[in-house]
Copies of this chain bind each other. A is one copy, B any other.
Amino acid sequence: MTLQPALPEHTFQALGDPTRRAIVERLSQGPASVSELAAPFEMALPSFLQHLKVLEGRGLIRTVKNGRVRRCEIIPEPFDAATRWLEDQRTLWSARLDRLDAYLTTLKDGDAS
């Protein structure tokens, strides 16, 4: 119900828990009901449901109730946004390391000549 703007921060926080990460891994393979998702876990159902609510609250999954069954599925966008953030950081530091490398090479060439 509460779809957040999907800040990478929220995505990361949601994925920082082993249970929720496992739920996402399961849902990556396709939608599932609450009880299907809960089955592999020892945890009591209400505890498990909290994790689903976190995922939904952060906008990582969408759920729809049909009859007495609630079906859950992944929302791809926030994952893409998180990936982009990680890649942006990577770009920053590899650019920097490249410059450092170039600089060191210059130094070395200067010595050699």
Measured CA separation A12–B17 after assembly (Å): 8
> Which one of B13, B14, B17, B29 contacts A92 once the chains associate, using CB atoms below 8 Å?
B29
- A90 proximity list for chain B (CB < 8 A): 28, 76, 79-80, 83
Nearest B residue to A10 by beta-carbon distance? B16
Interface residue ranges of A18-42 to B (CB < 8 Å): 18, 21, 24-25, 28-30
Looking at the assembled complex, report how far the CB atom of A95 sits from the nearest CB atom of chain B, in whole angstroms. 9
How many Å from the CB of A105 to the closest CB on chain B?
Answer: 18
Contacts of A96 in B (CB 8 A): 28-30
Closest to A87 in B: B83
In the bound complex, CA of A22 to CA of B28 (Å): 29
